[in-house]
Structure 1
Amino acid sequence: MDWIQASIIALIQGITEFLPISSSAHLLFPSLLLGWPDQGLTFDVAVHLGSLLAVVIYLRKDLIRMVEGLCQWQQQKRLNQQATLALMLIVATLPAVFFGLVLKDWIEVNARALWVVAVTTLAFGLLLGWADWRSRRQHQIAAMSWRHTLCIGLAQALALLPGTSRSGITMTAALMLGYTREAAARFSFLMSIPIILAASSLMTLELVTSAVAVVWAPMLIGLVVSFASAWLCIVLFMQVISRMGMWPFVVYRMVLGVGLCWLILPTLS
């Protein structure tokens, strides 16, 4: 992989990781349109770490408050709001981890087809639009309950299907439960931290135990580009949804889904 390929793939990963438009759908295009080979495990680790670093820095104040809340809980033996939020994030991550371990092999064999990505891109894009239109948008994260946490966590597990979009489906669920757009997005970003950390840890373990040679230049490019693009996307996304809602991304998903269907047509003839 040369530096141009590394930069473009890392840019795609960084831009699409936190937007409700599906990173898996977009990462198909380099191989489908340009014939590029799979970027490999080492590069996957680098771009995921870049995305993780971006969201951690953006949400650093929230994370510091949660750490302080957990420390206070330990000292005072009384559960507080920030410690509760931290525990909720763990609970919200469990369904995706469980179903990911159980269904990983089945998904690899049966759910990676282009038509699956096209269908999920369209279907869950429309669901996001419906949720944004119908949502009461009155709750903040402080109103998050354990029932809502579990519902959003179960929704996150659906993102195991390529094309669904982890951020898209969790924001959809939060909107359907009556949370504001900003609260839905912020909780989705918080939920991304343990799930990306878990995925990166598994990939790192696989990398360490394999005989794959590490090529450092593409990894460094991937890390830097994915970090910068992911951080910028988070900042701009929060500004866009406060003014325009989710509909720009719904429309984009419709265009993307139609484009994927167009790519499928030659294989049906």
Structure 2
Amino acid sequence: MDTLQVILLALIQGLTEFLPISSSAHLILPAQLLGWEDQGLSFDVAVHIGSLLAVIIYFRVEVWTMLKAWLASIFKGQHTEDSKLAWWIILATLPAVAFGFVAKDFIQEHLRGPGVIAITTIVFGLLLWVGDKLSRDELTEYQTGWRKALLIGFAQAIAIIPGTSRSGITITAALLLGLKREAAARFSFLMSIPVILGAAILMSKDAMSTDAVIDYQAMCLGIVMSFIAAYACIFFFLKIISKMGMTPFVIYRLALGIVLCGFVFM
């Protein structure tokens, strides 16, 4: 890949990892418009590492506090709001792990086409609008509870279907369950840490099993650019989400889905 391709794809991954607009839908567009080939597993690992570092560093205080509280709940039996939140995030991760293990091969084979991504971009965009309009907007992430966390986790499992958007479907579920917009986004972003980490580990394992030449310069640039984009995305999204709501992202998803449909069906 040339430098422009690396920068563009890393920025796309960093931005769309946390915005509710589907990263897979956006990564199709450069390939369709510019004829770019698949970037390869090593580059996928790099941009996921950049996104992971961004969310961990942004929430470094919360992550450290939850980690200490979680360990205290195990070894000392001390249960606090932070330890409960940590357990809920772990619980919410389990459905995605199970669904990914069972359905990964089927989805890779049958549901990665641009037609599927175009349709899911539109359908789950509309569902995001419904979630935003019906939300009671009253709970924080510390009031989620294990039942709601598990339901959000099942929603996250659906995101293995390309075009769904992991952040989009988890924020939608959290809104429908009564979380405030910012709390829904924060819970979704914290949930992303184990999921992105797991995905990066699996992709690293697959990458090491191939004979493909690794472009370390492209990987380093990809990490840096995806980190910058993801960190900026998290920062600004949390600043504006309470006032702006989800409607602009819904409109954007619908327009993107229509454009993708144009590539597929014309």
Superposition TM-score tier, normalisation by shorter sequence = over 0.9
In structure 1, the partner of 2:238 is 238
Letter in 2 for 1:220: C
C-alpha distance in structure 1 between counterparts of 2:204 and 2:261, whole Å = 34
Alignment of 1:1-269 (within 5 A): 1-266=1-266
C-alpha distance in structure 2 between counterparts of 1:108 and 1:49, whole Å = 22
Residues 45, 203 of structure 2: 8 Å contact kept: yes
C-alpha distance in structure 2 between counterparts of 1:11 and 1:66, whole Å = 29
Letter in 1 for 2:248: P
The one-character-per-residue Cα deviations of 1:84-110 (angstroms, maximum 9, x if unpaired) are: 211211111111111111111110111
Task: Out of 175-184 and 206-215, give the one that drifted further.
Answer: 206-215
Residues 70, 87 of structure 2: 8 Å contact kept: no
Letter in 1 for 2:45: V
Structure-2-length-normalised TM-score: 0.97
C-alpha distance in structure 2 between counterparts of 1:14 and 1:78, whole Å = 37
The one-character-per-residue Cα deviations of 1:205-263 (angstroms, maximum 9, x if unpaired) are: 22223322221110011000000001001111112212111111011001111111111
C-alpha distance in structure 2 between counterparts of 1:160 and 1:105, whole Å = 11
C-alpha distance in structure 2 between counterparts of 1:10 and 1:95, whole Å = 28
Moved over 6 A (4+): none
Kindly state the Cα deviation for residue 127 of structure 1 after the two structures are TM-superposed: 0.7
C-alpha distance in structure 2 between counterparts of 1:75 and 1:162, whole Å = 40
C-alpha distance in structure 2 between counterparts of 1:157 and 1:147, whole Å = 15
Percent identity between matched residues is: 52
SS of the residue corresponding to residue 27 of structure 1 reads: helix
Kindly state the Cα deviation for residue 183 of structure 1 after the two structures are TM-superposed: 0.4
Kindly state the Cα deviation for residue 73 of structure 1 after the two structures are TM-superposed: 2.1
C-alpha distance in structure 1 between counterparts of 2:51 and 2:78, whole Å = 34
The one-character-per-residue Cα deviations of 1:41-78 (angstroms, maximum 9, x if unpaired) are: 11000000000000001111110110120232244323
Letter in 2 for 1:262: G
C-alpha distance in structure 1 between counterparts of 2:90 and 2:187, whole Å = 12
Residue correspondences, number: 266
Kindly state the Cα deviation for residue 80 of structure 1 after the two structures are TM-superposed: 2.4
C-alpha distance in structure 2 between counterparts of 1:215 and 1:230, whole Å = 22
C-alpha distance in structure 1 between counterparts of 2:208 and 2:12, whole Å = 26
C-alpha distance in structure 1 between counterparts of 2:101 and 2:230, whole Å = 27
* Structure 2 stretches lacking a partner, 5+ long: none
* Structure 1 stretches lacking a partner, 5+ long: none
SS of the residue corresponding to residue 28 of structure 1 reads: helix
C-alpha distance in structure 1 between counterparts of 2:9 and 2:85, whole Å = 34
C-alpha distance in structure 2 between counterparts of 1:178 and 1:205, whole Å = 39
SS of the residue corresponding to residue 159 of structure 2 reads: helix
SS of the residue corresponding to residue 164 of structure 2 reads: coil
